[in-house]
Amino acid sequence: MSELGRALIEQFDRDDLELLEGRLRALSADDADGGWLDTKKAAAYAGCTVPALHHAKANGDVEYEQPGGPGGKVWFQRSALDRWRQSRARLTA
């Protein structure tokens, strides 16, 4: 690893590292799923809690699919989560 990489990592706090860990896990998952993630993996990928993701879903802030209808399993695409994260970042900037 380069010195620059090491210096950057030294600046990360615990929250930064947990977010990075979740993103890396989600990205390293088998891409045969077409980018679809269940709620737990989607929250890890997005760097938020499952309740925060449920809240965003209920408010219509993030796109999702629920093929089984109400009460069925919920699926999120990475691209939708990326858009949601970007919109959250703009609100806090």
Say which residue the tokens 């691209």 belong to. Answer: 79
- The pLDDT tens digits for 32-84 are 566 899 999 999 999 999 999 999 999 999 999 998 888 889 999 999 999 99
Q: How far apart are CA 72 and CA 93, in angstroms?
A: 35
Taking the CA atoms of residue 7, residue 5, residue 44 and residue 93 in that order, the dihedral angle to the nearest 10 degrees is 60
Which residues contact residue 47 at a Cβ distance below 8 angstroms, ignoring those fewer than 6 apart? 18, 19, 22, 23, 85
Which residues contact residue 23 at a Cβ distance below 8 angstroms, ignoring those fewer than 6 apart? 44, 45, 47
Domains along the chain? 3-92 (1.10.10.10)
40 versus 89: the higher-pLDDT residue is: 40
